[in-house]
Amino acid sequence: MTNEHARNYYQQAEKHASKANELAADAREKLAIYRELAGTLKRWDEIMSHNPIIIWTFIFILVATGEFLVSIDLYIDLLPRAPWIIPMVIIAISIVISHWLAYKFIPGLKLVEYESKRSSNVFSKRTDDDIRMEIEKRSNKTFYLGLAVAFLITILVFYLSKERVEREIGAGMRINGFGFYDSLPVIFYLAEIVTGVYVVYLLKRLNKSIKAWRIRKRFDNLVRAVSHETSEAIHSFETAETNGFDLMHNTISESIHIAFFRNKNCNPSDEENYIAEPQNTETTVKFNLIRSDSTKPLLGNVQVFSEYNYAGVDATDEKGLAEIQFSSFPNDTIKKVVVEFSDGVNFEDSVVYKTGNVNPHRILIRE
């Protein structure tokens, strides 16, 4: 029987191994999400590769900066305590309007939307033609809505600029009436709408990239945690064995089997294989027992213990042949053989034997 000290180490091993498997399951889920996000970003890049995104967005930044500089006095008049709020609102509105208008004429934006909807669970039962038709309807709707909002905002900016000129004239701050310089806020605002066609796309891409980065970081942390918990499980179980844990009369949890499999066959740098859940297969190992005293019987029971801590047992025939079947993971090996002959003689062998052997392993038992 296993003593209490060894039992405690086994329980620690089981706890670490179970935790490792839980973390590995979480890591597999995170990896699937990350791959989906990375795949989406790659498809978006392929779709938008021929669009002058950087150039237009750079021009938009210059235009937005110019609009702020020429309109700052107007913003101070309207909101002295926080004049920066107005240009932020105007820029945000112009970006949305720009996207609405561009959505109608830039095929890449429609393809990006199509890819997003096609991979969404919400549209899983919709045909490709249905999705395209919905996107086309949306592009028409947003185009006219964008035109209407752009017209209203342009009139508002023009009106505010004109009112400011009239107040300055009334206060004696200027003599000349509304001129070209006073119309610059309107001109810059319209330029923002024209040049901001890719800003919404870039914001969506940035949001997806940040999400993918966070998922990837979480995945890497999980893999490291799986590696740590697996190592702790191996160490605790080996300590339990050293302290007398009885492999023959105790059931080993599946999580510990997986920990030993992962420790032997997988490398944390090979992340996908490391966190994969191995599948049990039927494993066989054949032995041919030979006793130095040929007069003694070869009948008996052969019990084997594998590197992944599985066990199997079978009886030998009169020629000392035994074929032992047990359930295990790929690449398992036998680390211990225990033989109980019919004449009461017991034998142990700790030599490593391969499983799945066609020719029986010959074991010479000297007495």
Q: Taking the domains of the chain in order of start, what are their residue ranges?
A: 49-197, 281-365
Lowest mean pLDDT among 16-20, 123-127, 225-229, 300-304: 123-127
Q: Give me the half-sphere count of Cα atoms (radius 13 Å) on the Cβ side of residue 161.
A: 23
Stretch 253-277: mean pLDDT, rounded?
90
Q: What is the DSSP letter of 251?
A: P
Residue percentage of the chain with pLDDT more than 70:
98
Q: Rounded mean pLDDT of 265-276?
A: 87
Helices (H), the chain: 4-47, 53-78, 85-105, 107-118, 128-170, 184-195, 199-242, 254-265, 271-275
Residue 186 is predicted with a pLDDT of 86
Q: Looking at residue 219, what is its pLDDT?
A: 96
pLDDT band at 127 (very low <50, low <70, confident <90, very high): confident
Beta-carbon count within 10 A of 211 CB: 14
Q: What is the CA radius of gyration of the chain?
A: 37
Residue 73 clears pLDDT 80, i.e. is over it? no
pLDDT in tens, 140-184: 898 999 999 999 988 988 888 887 777 777 767 777 777 777 788
For the purposes of burial, counting CB atoms within 10 Å of the CB of 294, is it exposed (0-12), middle (13-18) or buried (19 or more)? exposed
* Per-chain mean pLDDT for the chain: 89
Instruction: Work out the average pLDDT over 56-83.
Output: 85
Q: Which residue did the predictor score with more confidence, 355 or 248? A: 355
Per-residue confidence (pLDDT) for residue 363, from 0 to 100: 93
Contacts 24+ apart (CB under 8 A), 116-121: 116/40, 119/36, 119/40
Average pLDDT over residues 35-62: 92
**Contact by Cβ (8 Å): 230, 258:** no
Residue 255 has pLDDT above 80, yes or no: yes
Specify the CATH number of the domain 281-365. 2.60.40.10
Distances 11 to 254, 264, 297 between C-alpha atoms, Å: 13, 21, 41
Residue 124 has pLDDT above 70, yes or no: no
